[in-house]
Structure 1
Amino acid sequence: MTWALTVAFLATLALGIPVAFCLALSSLVFLLLSGDIPLHLIPQRMFTGMDSFPLMAVPFFILAGELMNSAGITQKIVRFSTALVGHIRGGLAHVNIVASMFFAGISGSAVADTAALGSILIPAMEKDGYSKSFSAAVTASSSVIGPIIPPSIPVVIYALVGSVSVGGLFLAGVVPGVLIGVGLMVVAYFLAKKHGYGTKQPRVSFGEFLQALWGAIIPLLMPLIILGGILSGVFTPTEAASVAVAYAVVVGLLVLRTLKLSHLPDIFYRSMLTTSTILMVMACANIFSWILGTEMIPQKVAKVITSLSENPYVLLLLINLLLFVVGCFLEGLAAIIIMVPILLPIAQHAGIDPIHFGIVVVMNLMIGLITPPLGLCLFVCCSVSKVDLVELVRANMPFLLVELITLFLVAYVPQVVLFLPRLFGY
């Protein structure tokens, strides 16, 4: 009956049905055709898919990001990034990338980074002489950093599915995220120089730099509080997420005073909408995963992959290619829930560290956010910049190439990922 599950899933996906319902409907088709499995399994598996205390970290991190963004911290981060790298050739492109790296420590979501920074920086870059397609490409490609540098919602989901330490994964994402940012800045520099993008900006004075740093220090402390609390054992990742919310409320209402009580209903609404989408995907994916398990699909896939080669390097290449293709067609969180139970045992059998493998998986699937046909960050940038999708994809190719090179560096040089986790005993 596996063929029915596969056909139903691909058919509903091709029809443009949301991923959560694709998973649910294809699972329903399988159960109806099997005939001997009671349908009350569906609500039971949906409930168990969401019945997890660590999963509570997801809505809290989403809410913390919404609160900090509504408090106006985006402008403060952009101002500090401008003081830091605005004087380099292609200054606003570098500001865009560095701001994404800083913003990653707050939102943990690539799409949120694209929307928040794109609405500010794409018009500013156009005004400064950058082409629309280049501005949108920089914004989309740098947003991939968001779910890699901690805190990260996809990393939390991977940790739940793969039973891996959240703290270790958070630490493991720091160096790869910085490497992607540096690589994007190098490409932006040469493209800006080649096309004459941007006006020459003077280096800010030391006093202006300190003023910009002081304005950004409060929002930038949040990821340090989260990581510090987890690593010191003061609180769990779930508790760290709730502390982040409390910190965001205090900063927005009492310190910066840019967050008003009247803003809270809309913030809670947006947070609930995003959370419910993620939880629905997880609930429906749990039914799908249960069917895959009972049909022994992971074992069959593992047998096929390992029959091609037992070499860890070749296995990593095959897994990377598979994840890249999956990321082009499937939303990242759903792909993690479906693919990790299949691929993680193969990786562990080949001697690949689960923390290392987790960052490889997340990076691969997040790159899918800037690849057609379902790259969400591409569509957000198209909406903000009014650039044609084909034009944006073409402009994004140099940045995509850098991210793929970084991905393979991370995949084949595990020390890049594992240095910080090993330093802290993970």
Structure 2
Amino acid sequence: MLLLIGSFLLLMIIGAPVAVAMAVASLLYLLVTGTAPDIVAAQRMIAGVESFPLIAVPFFILAGNLMNIAGVTGRIYHFALSLVGWMKGGLAQVNIIGSVIFSGMSGTALADAAGIGTIEIKAMKDHGYPVEAAVGVTAASATLGPIFPPSLPFVIYGMMANASIGALFMAGILPGIVMTSLMMLTVWLFARRYGWGSDTPFDLRELAKAGIEVLVVMCFPLAVWLLIRLGVSVNVAVIVALVALIALDWYFDWHAVMALMAPVLLIGGMTMGWFTPTEAAVAAVLWSLFLGLVRYRTMTFRTLAKASFDTIETTAAVLFIVTAASIFAWLLTVSQAAQVFSDAMFALTDNWWTFLIVVNILLLIVGAFLDTIAAISILVPILMPVAAKYGIDPVHLGVVLTLNLMIGLLTPPVGMVLFVLARISKMSVERTALAILPWMIPLFVALLLITFIPALTLWLPTQLGLIR
């Protein structure tokens, strides 16, 4: 175990990429100990990516890229501006609401920060906000991407933990609402302290338009239900309601109705059994293509090709990490690392609260040094057996783990969201990290609530019958 972990840490210290460090450490362990034939390494690495849930990875990445090039981010921004721009600290509130909406399509914090974050930071700077405030609120709101469904980290976690991905998607909704509320409260407090005003005048007509768009989206499932009650089949009812909605949107040219429909269609489709969470990723891509090529006609074949190549590059990087992490995690199990951790925890405490405190500290440290996918792949095989002994539901653990790792994306030395925002804002990484620091407060408060009130994550999937 010391050889495996020690060689991995040494390679990380000398600057080797995470995936390379895991793969080389695993091969070195096999060569020195003779635990298994060399061919086992190849078999384990291949088995790590031979998984149906992993098919969702490239499609969710592609959906986020397509939404960015289709001009949907601009429409989401203008909708959020109409909805909350009149509040104190208006554009900061817009930043949060925009991220909530975009998270229902992208599933990743990085896509959120690089996509709608670019628009929001520029707008806040143009309206006189300090660049540090713009970067801080953008970083905090980007963490919502993987908490609200759909979520790429939930897909990876569900595969590794053998947990229901559909239950994980539903489990993220209430925690996402809690995080959104805490961030909006933080903006209000900052606005009072620093004298931030509203950024658009209170316009009842604009607010009413935004409210109508929300109402239209909420009426969609109601229309489907009424058609079913009238004797129309489920499939026909959904098609009729969707065609009517598209026609109305074409006529009124609403800002964000079609964007708001993305999470409704994905969650509704999974709830009604039309497609699995994995297949929902394909549905997200199809919806993105419809918006970009048909509805808004902002997507060209050149931009489509660019989005496809970006997706291939990102997917290759993610799956290389999963491949290397699969054999590394297997060897951690073989070398009894999970058993050592389990024995240490039970020697320390038999209280699940204390266990979760230790897990949170561990995850916050790991998240600062490891990529999210790598961290999930390595830690889940170690944490799951111990959590089960403490009676902690794997869905609850999945949400806690993901939120910790999202906070890790905002911290040096390897926080990817931190680097993306530093590039967008043209600030140094050090200055960007300091700008993000105050906005960690609502994230840590949310983390404490989600960790120690399991009902926040488990109530909704339990009500839907996804877990017992």
With normalisation by structure 1, the TM-score equals 0.96
- 1:353 aligned residue: 393
- 2:78 aligned residue: 79
Aligned residue among 388, 413, 418 for 2:428? 388
Determine the C-alpha separation between the residues in 2 that align with 1:209 and 1:266. 38
Determine the C-alpha separation between the residues in 1 that align with 2:20 and 2:166. 32
Q: Report the identity percentage.
A: 41
- 1:32 aligned residue: 31
The letter for the 1-side match of 2:335 is E
Q: Tell me if structure 2 keeps the 8 A contact 1:130–1:198.
A: no
Determine the C-alpha separation between the residues in 1 that align with 2:199 and 2:260. 28
The letter for the 2-side match of 1:321 is I
Structure 1 residue 388: Cα displacement: 2.8
User: What is the 5 A alignment of 1:46-61?
Assistant: 46-61=45-60
Q: Tell me if structure 2 keeps the 8 A contact 1:369–1:378.
A: yes
User: What is the 5 A alignment of 1:217-232?
Assistant: 217-232=257-272
Distance 1:198 1:375, change over 3 A: farther
Q: Tell me if structure 2 keeps the 8 A contact 1:129–1:198.
A: no
Aligned residue among 306, 317, 337 for 1:297? 337
Q: Tell me if structure 1 keeps the 8 A contact 2:410–2:417.
A: yes
Q: Tell me if structure 2 keeps the 8 A contact 1:129–1:199.
A: no
- 2:103 aligned residue: 104
- 1:41 aligned residue: 40
> What secondary structure is seen at the aligned counterpart in 2 of 1:40?
helix
Q: Tell me if structure 2 keeps the 8 A contact 1:125–1:198.
A: no
Deviates more, 1:392-401 or 1:380-389: 392-401
1:203-238 per-residue CA deviation (whole Å, 9 max, x = no partner) reads: 233356426932201122111111111111111112
- 1:152 aligned residue: 151
Q: Number of matched residues?
A: 425
Deviates more, 1:6-15 or 1:90-99: 6-15
Q: Tell me if structure 1 keeps the 8 A contact 2:91–2:199.
A: no
- 2:231 aligned residue: none
Deviates more, 1:162-171 or 1:236-245: 236-245
Structure 1 residue 107: Cα displacement: 0.6
1:258-317 per-residue CA deviation (whole Å, 9 max, x = no partner) reads: 112222211110111111111111101111012112112111111111110011111111
CA RMSD of aligned residues (A): 1.5
Q: Which runs of 5 or more residues in structure 1 are unaligned? A: none
> What secondary structure is seen at the aligned counterpart in 1 of 2:38?
coil
The letter for the 2-side match of 1:244 is A
> What secondary structure is seen at the aligned counterpart in 1 of 2:432?
helix
Determine the C-alpha separation between the residues in 2 that align with 1:244 and 1:375. 27
- 1:362 aligned residue: 402
The letter for the 2-side match of 1:113 is D
- 1:236 aligned residue: 276
Determine the C-alpha separation between the residues in 2 that align with 1:162 and 1:154. 12
- 1:419 aligned residue: 459
The letter for the 2-side match of 1:250 is F
Determine the C-alpha separation between the residues in 2 that align with 1:228 and 1:118. 27
Q: Tell me if structure 2 keeps the 8 A contact 1:83–1:203.
A: no
1:295-346 per-residue CA deviation (whole Å, 9 max, x = no partner) reads: 1211111111111001111111111111111111111111111101111111
Determine the C-alpha separation between the residues in 1 that align with 2:360 and 2:174. 19
Structure 1 residue 198: Cα displacement: 5.1
Determine the C-alpha separation between the residues in 1 that align with 2:396 and 2:410. 23
- 1:166 aligned residue: 165
> What secondary structure is seen at the aligned counterpart in 1 of 2:170?
helix
> What secondary structure is seen at the aligned counterpart in 2 of 1:140?
helix
Q: Which runs of 5 or more residues in structure 2 are unaligned? A: 214-253
- 1:88 aligned residue: 87
The letter for the 1-side match of 2:31 is L
Distance 1:14 1:108, change over 3 A: same
- Structure 1 residue 65 corresponds to structure 2 residue 105: no
Q: Tell me if structure 1 keeps the 8 A contact 2:408–2:415.
A: yes
- 2:442 aligned residue: 402
- 2:226 aligned residue: none
Determine the C-alpha separation between the residues in 2 that align with 1:372 and 1:22. 19
Q: Tell me if structure 2 keeps the 8 A contact 1:80–1:216.
A: yes
Runs of 4+ in 1 over 3 A off after TM superposition: 197-200
- 1:372 aligned residue: 412
Structure 1 residue 139: Cα displacement: 0.8
Q: Tell me if structure 1 keeps the 8 A contact 2:107–2:146.
A: yes
1:155-209 per-residue CA deviation (whole Å, 9 max, x = no partner) reads: 0001000011111100000111121121111112221222223555212333564
* Rg (Cα) greater in structure: 2
- 1:265 aligned residue: 305
- 1:114 aligned residue: 113
The letter for the 2-side match of 1:67 is L
With normalisation by structure 2, the TM-score equals 0.88
Structure 1 residue 76: Cα displacement: 0.5
- Structure 1 residue 245 corresponds to structure 2 residue 285: yes
> What secondary structure is seen at the aligned counterpart in 1 of 2:354?
helix
The letter for the 2-side match of 1:233 is G
- Structure 1 residue 326 corresponds to structure 2 residue 366: yes
The letter for the 2-side match of 1:129 is G
Determine the C-alpha separation between the residues in 1 that align with 2:133 and 2:207. 29
Deviates more, 1:193-202 or 1:238-247: 193-202
Determine the C-alpha separation between the residues in 2 that align with 1:146 and 1:36. 40
